[in-house]
């Protein structure tokens, strides 16, 4: 590696996040008496990262385009609640969950298209628009449709996917044996990481997102169809939110309409911390996954080191401030 490449590498936020992640894992492992870097705990952390990681990838592509999406938890909740209710009422998904996923993705696509139409055609502030639609979608779910919590009656197809495993690790705790499963759903996160990275780095659509996030006017002058790109972006992100919400239903074995309220306050800080600029035009899949891993490790390891989980909100607040500060400093350097 030449000096120029090394210099570029040292300027990338994700490099430092990766180093912090590795160092933090080692520190927590030592403090907890060797309880973190073991297969069982690693399997648990990976399982916890699946849905949040895919949500983060959706936020990443939106932030690269220079926007913010606060509505994805509401889209996911309405999509999976309505889809699960329909499947349950019609006796679907008893053998496999495909129909439920397709239905949730369709609902998410429609809701995402609603976001896209407003944002693309009226050029309004994306944070304000999605804050409004977040409230609207939650109102539809909780008020208009009055969707109920579904737990014990969940279709068997959903439960089967949620408990499917790639491998099992068994250990002895005291006088009993405890088994930990590596969920098969981790493959979905890996697939989304590969697909998102490919789209961002190897396609015209990805280049359009970076160009629009960098300077929307310049992107339009360069020939990019900004309106169409934004519409497609929010429609696809809505569809991914629907898919991810249904995946969460499978993993938790319950469909609770209000379960994702406030989820954006965990996901968005991770994306910012991972190197995505709040002004658009920057961000990588690797950085986002490193930051998501950092947050997941901390939230799943607090009890191991004797810290109450109530401190999680403090940690997220610090991340927001640090992430925004880093993003602002980077933007000032680029423009300086």
Q: Summarize pLDDT for 6-22 with one digit per residue, the tens.
A: 566 566 778 888 888 89
Lowest model confidence (mean pLDDT) among 108-112, 151-155, 184-188: 151-155
Q: What is the pLDDT of residue 298?
A: 84
pLDDT at 176: 82
pLDDT, position 317: 73
| Mean pLDDT of the chain, nearest integer | 90
pLDDT of 277 above 90? no
What is the C-alpha to C-alpha distance for residues 281 and 268, in angstroms, rounded to an integer? 16
Q: Mind spelling out the 3-state secondary structure of 104-133?
A: HHHHHHHHHHHHHHHHHHHCCCHHHHHHHH
Q: What is the DSSP letter of 304?
A: G
16: Cα separation from own chain's centroid: 21
CA distance 311 to 318: 11
| Per-residue pLDDT at 20 | 86
Per-residue DSSP letter, 254: -
pLDDT in tens, 45-103: 999 999 999 999 999 999 999 999 999 999 999 999 999 999 999 999 999 999 999 99
Residue 280 token pair: 């658009």
φ, ψ of residue 56 in degrees (nearest 5): -65, -35
Phi and psi (nearest 5°) for 155?
A: -55, 145
Give the global pTM: 0.93
Q: CA 52, CA 245: separation in Å to the nearest integer?
A: 10
Higher pLDDT, 301 or 84: 84
Give the position of tokens 């919400």: 245
pLDDT, average across residues 286-294 = 93
DSSP state of 309: G
Measured between alpha carbons, how far is 61 from 48 in angstroms, rounded to an integer?
Answer: 21
| pLDDT for res 89 | 93
Phi, psi angle pair for 317, to nearest 5° = -65, -40
User: What's residue 302's pLDDT?
Assistant: 77
Q: Could you count the other beta carbons within 10 Å of the beta carbon of residue 134?
A: 21
Rounded to an integer, the average pLDDT of 183-194 is 98
């Amino acid at each position: 590696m030449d000096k120029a490449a090394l210099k570029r590498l040292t300027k990338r936020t994700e490099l430092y996040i990766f180093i912090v992640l590795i160092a933090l894992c080692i520190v927590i492992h030592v403090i907890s008496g060797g309880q973190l870097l073991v297969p069982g705990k690693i399997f648990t952390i990976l399982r916890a990262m699946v849905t949040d990681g895919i949500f983060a990838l959706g936020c990443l592509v939106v932030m690269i385009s220079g926007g913010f999406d606060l509505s994805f938890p509401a889209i996911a909740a309405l999509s999976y609640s309505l889809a699960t209710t329909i499947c349950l009422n019609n006796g679907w998904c008893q053998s496999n969950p495909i129909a439920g996923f397709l239905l949730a993705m369709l609902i998410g696509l429609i809701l995402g298209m609603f976001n896209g139409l407003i944002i693309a055609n009226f050029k309004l502030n994306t944070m304000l628009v999605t804050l409004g639609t977040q409230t609207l979608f939650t109102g539809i779910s909780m008020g208009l449709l009055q969707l109920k919590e579904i737990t014990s009656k969940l279709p068997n197809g959903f439960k089967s996917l949620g408990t499917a495993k790639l491998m099992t690790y068994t250990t002895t705790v005291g006088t009993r044996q405890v088994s930990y499963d590596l969920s098969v759903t981790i493959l979905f996160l890996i697939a989304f990481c590969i697909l998102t990275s490919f789209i961002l780095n190897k396609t015209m659509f990805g280049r359009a997102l970076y160009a629009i996030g960098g300077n929307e006017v310049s992107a339009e002058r360069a020939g990019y169809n900004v309106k169409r790109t934004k519409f497609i972006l929010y429609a696809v992100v809505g569809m991914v939110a629907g898919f991810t919400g249904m995946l969460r239903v499978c993993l938790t074995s319950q469909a609770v309409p209000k379960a994702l309220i406030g989820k954006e306050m965990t996901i968005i800080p991770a994306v910012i911390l991972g190197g995505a600029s709040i002004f658009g035009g920057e961000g990588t899949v690797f950085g986002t996954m490193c930051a998501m891993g950092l947050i997941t490790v901390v939230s799943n390891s607090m009890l191991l080191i004797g810290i109450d989980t109530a401190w999680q909100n403090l940690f997220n607040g610090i991340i927001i401030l640090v992430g925004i500060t880093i993003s602002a400093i980077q933007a000032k350097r680029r423009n300086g």
